[in-house]
Amino acid sequence: MEFVDLHWWTLCFRWLHILSGVMWIGHLWYFNFTQAPTVPKIPMELRPAIGKFILPEALFWFRWGAMATIVTGLILAYLLGNLGPALSLGVGAHSLPTTGLGFGMWLGIIMWFNVWFIIWPNQKKVMGMTEATDDEKKRAARTASLTSRVNTMLSIPMLYGMVMSVYMIR
> What secondary structure, in 3-state letters, does the chain show?
CCCCCHHHHHHHHHHHHHHHHHHHHHHHHHHHHHHHHHHHHCCHHHCHHHHHHHHHHHHHHHHHHHHHHHHHHHHHHHHCCCHHHHHCCCCCCCCHHHHHHHHHHHHHHHHHHHHHHHHHHHHHHHCCCCCCCHHHHHHHHHHHHHHHHHHHHHHHHHHHHHHHHHHHCC
* Confidence bin at 54 (pLDDT 50/70/90): very high
Mean pLDDT over 123-149 rounds to: 96
User: Mean of the per-residue pLDDT values for the chain?
Assistant: 93
pLDDT at 109 over 90: yes
Q: What mean pLDDT comes out for the span 73-102?
A: 92
Mean pLDDT across 121-135:
95
Looking at per-residue pLDDT, the higher value among 105 and 165 belongs to 105
Annotated domain spans of the chain:
6-168
pLDDT band at 166 (very low <50, low <70, confident <90, very high): confident
Task: State pTM to two decimals.
Answer: 0.91
